[in-house]
Amino acid sequence: MKPTLLVLAAGMGSRYGGLKQLDGLGPNGETIMDYSIYDAARAGFGKVVFVIRHAFENDFREKIITKYNKAIEVELVFQELDALPEGFTLPSERVKPWGTNHAIMMGEKAIHEPFAVINADDFYGKESFQILADALKTMEGGRDKYCMVGYRLGNTLSESGHVSRGVCQTDQQQFLTTVVEHYEVQRKGNVVIFKDQESNEYKEIDENLPVSMNMWGFTPDYFEHSNKDFKEFLTANVSNIKAEYGIPTMVNKLIQTKTATIKVLDTPCKWFGVTYKEDRPSVVSKINQLIQSGVYPSKLF
Where would I find the beta strands (DSSP E) of the chain? Answer: 4-8, 47-52, 73-78, 115-119, 145-152, 163-170, 176-188, 191-195, 202-205, 210-218, 261-267
Range of the domain at 55: 4-143+213-253+269-292
Residue 186 lies in a domain: no
Q: What is the mean pLDDT of the chain?
A: 92
| Residue 238, domain member (yes or no) | yes
How many angstroms separate the CA atoms of 167 and 188, rounded? 18
Whole-number pLDDT of residue 35: 96
The CA distances from residue 125 to 118, 132, 184, 199, 294, in Å, are 12, 11, 24, 36, 13
CATH of the domain at 133: 3.90.550.10
Which ranges of 138-174 does DSSP label H, i.e. alpha helix? Answer: none
In a domain, 187, yes or no: no
Residue 206 lies in a domain: no
Q: Find out whether 6 and 111 touch, Cβ atoms under 8 Å.
A: yes
> Is 196 a domain residue?
no
Query: Residue 127: inside a domain, yes or no?
Result: yes
Rounded to an integer, the average pLDDT of 57-62 is 90
Question: What is the spatial distance between Cα 100 and Cα 57, in angstroms, rounded to a whole number?
Answer: 19
Pick the more confident residue, 289 or 274.
289
Listed residue (141, 221, 156) closest to 187, CA to CA: 156
* pLDDT digits 0-9 by tens, 76-115: 999 998 899 998 888 888 888 889 999 999 999 999 999 9
Burial bucket for residue 154 (CB in 10 Å: 0-12, 13-18, 19+)? middle
Domain count along the chain: 1
For 17-48, write each residue's pLDDT tens digit: 667 667 889 999 999 999 999 999 999 999 99
Give the DSSP letter string of 27-45: TTS--HHHHHHHHHHHHT-
Q: Give the separation between CA 62 and CA 78, rounded to whole angstroms.
A: 16
- For residues 36 and 6, the answer to whether their CB atoms sit within 8 Å is no
Whether 86 is in a domain gets the answer yes
What percentage of the chain reaches a pLDDT higher than 70?
98
pLDDT at 21: 61
Q: Do 177 and 169 meet the contact criterion of CB atoms below 8 Å apart?
A: yes
Judged against a pLDDT cut of 70, whether residue 118 lies above it is answered with yes
Q: Does any domain span residue 149?
A: no
pLDDT greater at residue 18 or residue 292 = 292
193: nearest Cα among 210, 205, 183, 182: 205
